Amino acid sequence: MPDGALAQPDAMTLRLSATGGEGDLRGLVRLLRQGWRWLLAGGIGGIALAICALWLVTPAYTAAMVIGPTARVGSAAMGARVPMLSGRDSAAMAEPGAGDESLSDFARYLELFGSGPVAEQLASDSRLLQALFPERWDVETQRWRPPSGMVPAVKRALLALVGRQDWLEPDGERVARALRDRLVIDMLRSGPMRRITLRHSDRATALDLLGRVAAATDAHLRAEAARRSAAQIAHIKDRLGAVTVAEHRQALSDLLLDQERVAMMIGVELPFAADTIQPPAAAALPDWPNPAAVVPLAGMAGLIAACFGLSVCHALREGHAGEAAR
């Protein structure tokens, strides 16, 4: 053997191993050509299933709005609620701690959007509950009812086996769960603005729901800020009545002026935590699910499934033939 020659060239090359004088890729192409009827049936079957699913699924409208943090400067801004460097620099000490401990009103807004105490508040509105859970509301009797159908019936039976029952009248927790399933919050261009979308089968209901959730979240944060400010003002006034040192009374008076300014700015009829950059809007026609995307993907999935089935059947036949030859 010459120096430098390889003893097993096939093991060191990218050449496909031959089986019966035919490469693996060529054999696969040949197999697919022979089973073209199965491939055609798989593609047509996938498209047919997609069409049936589109007829069964209720189309939905997607309502979207764009929000951002409340502006402090500019002609359309609310202005700074917390006074900076006034009095004895008391406002600078309003929120002590490390920088990563601070939490903005906008961050609270995003966290509470449609959840927690906001969901509890929304649950007190019967019209909103009927829009969120139309399958549970009986229009004729004006009462809540269990959903009809085989799947809900099986679920109730399974719950009954373990001594539990399905819920009837929705509460705050159910509202929060329903909104969490419907709401999507996306970041816009890595900036502070967010796009919030909500899907519903009725366009007007989708727009109304999104606007009401946004308004309820902002109102909750405003009420919480007003409560804190009122408590601080009451505490400062109480201390002023007990302090007699002139210097201490001056410091408390400066704090009182700052807090009264904060309370005044909280009461301004402007967005408190989030500005609406684009109000809720939705297309005139349903946009979910999208048939132009679902049908081709379903046909491709059917082709892939048929190709896999042909490969499995061919492998099984080859295995049986090899065992029979032995």
> Averaged over 90-119, what is the pLDDT?
70
The pLDDT of residue 184 is above 80: yes
36 within some domain: no
161 within some domain: yes
Strand partners, 275: 68
Tell me what pLDDT residue 325 has: 72
40 within some domain: no
Confidence class for position 72, pLDDT limits 50, 70, 90: low
83 within some domain: no
The pLDDT of residue 40 is above 80: yes
Mean pLDDT for the chain overall? 81
Tokens 């816009």 belong to which residue?
Answer: 188
Question: Ramachandran region of residue 144, left (φ > 0), alpha (ψ -120 to 50) or beta?
Answer: beta
Alpha carbon distance 119, 105 (integer Å): 18
Kindly report whether the global pTM for this prediction surpasses the value 0.85: no
Token couple for 167? 């819920």
For CA atoms 47, 52, 55, 57, the dihedral sign is: negative
Alpha carbon distance 274, 105 (integer Å): 8
Q: 292 or 146: whose pLDDT is higher?
A: 292
* Of 112, 111, 104, 106, the residue nearest 69 (C-alpha): 106
290 within some domain: no
pLDDT digits (tens, 9 = 90+) for 254-269: 989 988 888 888 888 8
The pLDDT of residue 207 is above 80: yes
65 within some domain: yes
Exposure string over 65-79, b if 16+ CB within 10 A, otherwise e: bbbbbbeeeeeeebe
Alpha carbon distance 253, 271 (integer Å): 29
* Of 205, 212, 215, 214, the residue nearest 63 (C-alpha): 205
Q: 95 or 142: whose pLDDT is higher?
A: 142
The pLDDT of residue 314 is above 70: yes
* Of 319, 313, 315, 303, the residue nearest 24 (C-alpha): 315
Tell me what pLDDT residue 75 has: 54
Number of domains forming the structure of the chain: 1
201 within some domain: yes
Residue 139's domain comprises 61-72+98-282
Report the first-to-last Cα separation within the chain, whole angstroms: 36
5 within some domain: no
The pLDDT of residue 185 is above 80: yes
Q: 103 or 118: whose pLDDT is higher?
A: 118
Alpha carbon distance 267, 272 (integer Å): 9
> Averaged over 278-306, what is the pLDDT?
91
Q: 78 or 183: whose pLDDT is higher?
A: 183
Confidence class for position 101, pLDDT limits 50, 70, 90: low
What are the backbone angles phi and psi of residue 79, rounded to the nearest 5°? 95, 160
3-state class (DSSP) for residue 149: coil
The pLDDT of residue 323 is above 80: no
